[in-house]
Structure 1
Amino acid sequence: MNMIPSCIFCTVLVLLSLQQTTSTHVTVGAVIDGTSRAGKEANVSLQIALEDISRKADQRLVLHIINSRGEPALASLSAKRLIAAREVQVIIGPHTWQEASRVAEVSNQGKIPMFSLADVTPIWAMEHWPFLVQASGTNQDAQMKAVAAIVQSWDWHRVNIIYEDDTVSAFGSVIPYLKESLQEVGAEISNLVPLESVIASSLVAELTRLREQQCRVFIVHTSMKLATRLFQKAKELKMVEEDYIWIVTNSITDFFHSLDLTTIHSIQGVIGVEKYFSTSSIRFADFKRRFQKKFSLDYPEEGNDQPGISAVEIYDALWAVAHTYGGRNMQVPKHRATFMEKMASVHFYGLTGRVQYNARKLTPSHMFRIVNVIGKSYKELGTWSKGLGFSESIGDNAVYNSSMQNLGQVIWPGQSLYTPKGWALSNSSGFWRIGVPTEGMFKQIINISYDPQTNNFTFTGFVIDTFREVMVRLPYHAPYEFIPYNGTFDSLVEQVYLKKFDGVVGVSVIADRYKYAEFTRTYTRSSLTMLVPVQSETPSRSWLFMKPFTKAMWLLILAITIYNGFVIWLIERKHNQRLQGSATDQAGILIWLSFTTLFSLQGGRLHNNLSRLVVVVWLFVALVITQSYSASLTSMLSVQKLEAKVSDIDTLKTSNAAVGHTRGFYGRYLEEVLGFKSINLRSFSSQEEFANALKTGKIAAGFMNDTYLKLFLAKHCRSFVAVGPSYTVGGHGFAFPMGSPIIADLDKALLEVTESGKLRELEDKTIGEEGCVGVDSSNDDEVSLSIDSFWIIFLFTGGTTTFSLAIYVLDRLKESWKHHK
Structure 2
Amino acid sequence: MEPTSHHLLRVSFSVVLLFSLQGITSYGAIIGSIVDLSSRVGKEEKVAMEMAIEDFQNRMNQSLVLQVKDSQGKPIHAAVAATRLIHSQHVQAILGPSTWEEASLVSEIGSHSHTPILSFADSPPWATTQWPYLIQASPPIQHAQMKAVASIIQSSGWRRVVVIYEDIGSSVNGVIPHLHDSLDEVGSEISVLVGLPPIDSSSSSSSLYDELENLKRGQCRVIVVHVSLPLALRLFQQAKKMGMMEKEYVWITTDTTTSLVHAINSSYIASMQGVLGVKSYFLETEPDFHDFYQRFKRIFGSENPEEPNHEPGIFALQAYDATRAVALAMDEYIKNEDLLDKILSSNFHGLGGKVHFSTERKLPPAKTFQIINVIGKSYKEIGFWSDGLGFSNSIDPGRESYNDSMENLGQVFWPGEARDNPKGWTLPTKTNRFKVAVPNGTLFNLYLQVGYDKVTNSNTYSGFAIDIFKETIAQLPYDFPYEFHVFEGTYNEMIDQVHLKNFDVAIGSIAITAARCKLVDFSQPHTDTSLVMIVPVQSQFSDKAWMFLKPFTNAMWLLTAFISVYNGFVVWMIERDHCSGLRGSVLNQIGALLWLAFSTLFSRQGDNLHSNLSRMATVVWLFVTIVIMQSYTANLASMLTVPRLEPTVADIETLKYTNAMVGCTKKSFVANYLTEVLHFNHDHLKNYSAPDEIAQALRKREIAAAFIEAPWAKLFLARYCKSFIAAGPTYKVGGYGFAFQKGSLMISDVNEALLSVTESGKLLKLETDVTATQTCVDVELANNVSLSPSSFCVLFILSGGTSTIALMVYMIHRKKKFQDSLNEHKTIWVLMFGVLKYWLLRKNRFSRKVSDMESPKSGSPPIELKSWPSV
Which TM class, normalised by the smaller chain length? Answer: 0.7 to 0.9
Whole-Å Cα distance in 1 between the matches of residues 459 and 473 of structure 2?
24
AA aligned opposite 2:326? V
1:30-51 deviations in Å (ceiling 9; x for gaps)? 3322221112112333344445
Larger deviation, residues 786-795 vs 437-446: 786-795
Distance 1:331 1:428, change over 3 A: same
Are 1:324 and 1:346, in contact at CA under 8 Å, matched by a contact in 2?
no
State the Cα distance separating 1:318 from its structure 2 match: 2.8
Are 1:137 and 1:364, in contact at CA under 8 Å, matched by a contact in 2?
yes
Whole-Å Cα distance in 1 between the matches of residues 290 and 761 of structure 2?
60
Whole-Å Cα distance in 2 between the matches of residues 155 and 239 of structure 1?
21
Distance 1:283 1:334, change over 3 A: closer
Q: Does 1:392 align with 2:397?
A: no
List alignment gaps of at least 5 residues for structure 2: 1-26, 676-680, 830-871
Q: Does 1:296 align with 2:297?
A: no
Whole-Å Cα distance in 2 between the matches of residues 631 and 231 of structure 1?
90
Whole-Å Cα distance in 1 between the matches of residues 94 and 297 of structure 2?
26
State the Cα distance separating 1:366 from its structure 2 match: 0.5
Quote the RMSD (CA, aligned, Å): 6.0
Equivalence for 1:371: 372
Larger deviation, residues 460-469 vs 691-700: 691-700
Distance 1:408 1:805, change over 3 A: farther
Are 2:448 and 2:461, in contact at CA under 8 Å, matched by a contact in 1?
no
Helix, strand or coil for the counterpart of 2:123?
Answer: coil
Are 1:234 and 1:240, in contact at CA under 8 Å, matched by a contact in 2?
yes
Whole-Å Cα distance in 2 between the matches of residues 110 and 587 of structure 1?
129
AA aligned opposite 1:315? Y
AA aligned opposite 1:382? G
Equivalence for 1:253: 258
Q: Does 1:113 align with 2:116?
A: yes
Equivalence for 1:518: 520
State the Cα distance separating 1:699 from its structure 2 match: 9.8
Q: Does 1:506 align with 2:511?
A: no
State the Cα distance separating 1:313 from its structure 2 match: 1.6
Helix, strand or coil for the counterpart of 1:567?
Answer: helix
Query: Which of residues 139, 143, 146 is equivalent to 1:144?
Result: 146
Query: Which of residues 274, 292, 295 is equivalent to 1:287?
Result: 292
Whole-Å Cα distance in 2 between the matches of residues 411 and 228 of structure 1?
20
Equivalence for 1:101: 104
Equivalence for 2:313: 308
Larger deviation, residues 311-320 vs 460-469: 460-469
Q: Does 1:479 align with 2:479?
A: yes
State the Cα distance separating 1:275 from its structure 2 match: 0.8
Query: Which of residues 572, 575, 578 is equivalent to 1:572?
Result: 575
Are 1:356 and 1:362, in contact at CA under 8 Å, matched by a contact in 2?
yes
Distance 1:537 1:712, change over 3 A: same
Helix, strand or coil for the counterpart of 1:127?
Answer: helix
State the Cα distance separating 1:165 from its structure 2 match: 4.9
Larger deviation, residues 377-386 vs 63-72: 63-72
Whole-Å Cα distance in 1 between the matches of residues 74 and 594 of structure 2?
131
Helix, strand or coil for the counterpart of 1:390?
Answer: strand
Whole-Å Cα distance in 2 between the matches of residues 671 and 382 of structure 1?
55
Whole-Å Cα distance in 1 between the matches of residues 236 and 312 of structure 2?
24
Whole-Å Cα distance in 2 between the matches of residues 311 and 629 of structure 1?
104
Equivalence for 2:347: 346
State the Cα distance separating 1:736 from its structure 2 match: 3.1
Equivalence for 1:356: 356
Are 1:560 and 1:798, in contact at CA under 8 Å, matched by a contact in 2?
no
Whole-Å Cα distance in 2 between the matches of residues 682 and 143 of structure 1?
56
Query: Which of residues 711, 716, 721 is equivalent to 1:717?
Result: 721
Equivalence for 1:548: 551
Whole-Å Cα distance in 1 between the matches of residues 124 and 503 of structure 2?
46
Equivalence for 1:705: 709
Larger deviation, residues 104-113 vs 759-768: 759-768
State the Cα distance separating 1:561 from its structure 2 match: 1.8
Are 2:555 and 2:788, in contact at CA under 8 Å, matched by a contact in 1?
no
Whole-Å Cα distance in 2 between the matches of residues 289 and 783 of structure 1?
101
Equivalence for 1:21: none
Q: Does 1:172 align with 2:173?
A: yes
Whole-Å Cα distance in 2 between the matches of residues 153 and 521 of structure 1?
22
Alignment of 1:461-472 (within 5 A): 461=464, 464-465=467-468, 468=471
Are 2:563 and 2:800, in contact at CA under 8 Å, matched by a contact in 1?
no
Whole-Å Cα distance in 2 between the matches of residues 254 and 147 of structure 1?
15
AA aligned opposite 2:395? I
Are 1:489 and 1:507, in contact at CA under 8 Å, matched by a contact in 2?
no
Query: Which of residues 147, 157, 173 is equivalent to 2:159?
Result: 157
Are 1:714 and 1:767, in contact at CA under 8 Å, matched by a contact in 2?
no
Equivalence for 1:187: 188
Q: Percent identity?
A: 38
1:88-131 deviations in Å (ceiling 9; x for gaps)? 4443222223333344344444444332222x123333223333
Equivalence for 2:20: none
Whole-Å Cα distance in 2 between the matches of residues 729 and 379 of structure 1?
51
Helix, strand or coil for the counterpart of 1:115?
Answer: strand
Equivalence for 1:402: 404
Whole-Å Cα distance in 2 between the matches of residues 193 and 481 of structure 1?
27
Larger deviation, residues 384-393 vs 524-533: 524-533
AA aligned opposite 1:121? S
Are 1:426 and 1:502, in contact at CA under 8 Å, matched by a contact in 2?
no
Distance 1:767 1:96, change over 3 A: same
List alignment gaps of at least 5 residues for structure 1: 1-23
Whole-Å Cα distance in 2 between the matches of residues 658 and 345 of structure 1?
79
Q: Does 1:46 align with 2:49?
A: yes
Equivalence for 1:14: none
State the Cα distance separating 1:463 from its structure 2 match: 6.3
Whole-Å Cα distance in 2 between the matches of residues 409 and 127 of structure 1?
45
TM-score by length of 2: 0.69
Distance 1:578 1:318, change over 3 A: closer
Helix, strand or coil for the counterpart of 2:391?
Answer: strand
Whole-Å Cα distance in 1 between the matches of residues 529 and 339 of structure 2?
72
State the Cα distance separating 1:466 from its structure 2 match: 6.8
Larger deviation, residues 543-552 vs 255-264: 543-552
Distance 1:576 1:726, change over 3 A: closer
Query: Which of residues 136, 144, 151 is equivalent to 1:134?
Result: 136
State the Cα distance separating 1:388 from its structure 2 match: 0.3
Helix, strand or coil for the counterpart of 2:308?
Answer: coil
Are 1:159 and 1:189, in contact at CA under 8 Å, matched by a contact in 2?
yes
1:654-684 deviations in Å (ceiling 9; x for gaps)? xxx9999878569999999965899xx8754
Whole-Å Cα distance in 2 between the matches of residues 171 and 57 of structure 1?
44
State the Cα distance separating 1:346 from its structure 2 match: 1.9
Larger deviation, residues 551-560 vs 64-73: 551-560
Whole-Å Cα distance in 2 between the matches of residues 133 and 546 of structure 1?
98
Distance 1:815 1:621, change over 3 A: farther
State the Cα distance separating 1:189 from its structure 2 match: 3.9
Are 1:564 and 1:801, in contact at CA under 8 Å, matched by a contact in 2?
no
Equivalence for 1:34: 37
State the Cα distance separating 1:762 from its structure 2 match: 7.1
Alignment of 1:380-459 (within 5 A): 380-395=381-396, 396-413=398-415, 415-425=417-427, 428-429=430-431, 432=434, 434=436, 445=447
State the Cα distance separating 1:384 from its structure 2 match: 0.8
Larger deviation, residues 157-166 vs 697-706: 697-706
Whole-Å Cα distance in 2 between the matches of residues 138 and 552 of structure 1?
85
Whole-Å Cα distance in 1 between the matches of residues 731 and 554 of structure 2?
42
State the Cα distance separating 1:425 from its structure 2 match: 4.7
Are 2:553 and 2:786, in contact at CA under 8 Å, matched by a contact in 1?
no
Equivalence for 1:278: 283
Whole-Å Cα distance in 2 between the matches of residues 356 and 479 of structure 1?
58
State the Cα distance separating 1:647 from its structure 2 match: 9.1
1:708-767 deviations in Å (ceiling 9; x for gaps)? 211332464334324589899985231334x45347647976997899998996797568
Distance 1:105 1:41, change over 3 A: same
Alignment of 1:763-778 (within 5 A): 769=772
AA aligned opposite 2:155? S
Equivalence for 1:735: 739
Equivalence for 1:13: none
Are 1:162 and 1:218, in contact at CA under 8 Å, matched by a contact in 2?
yes
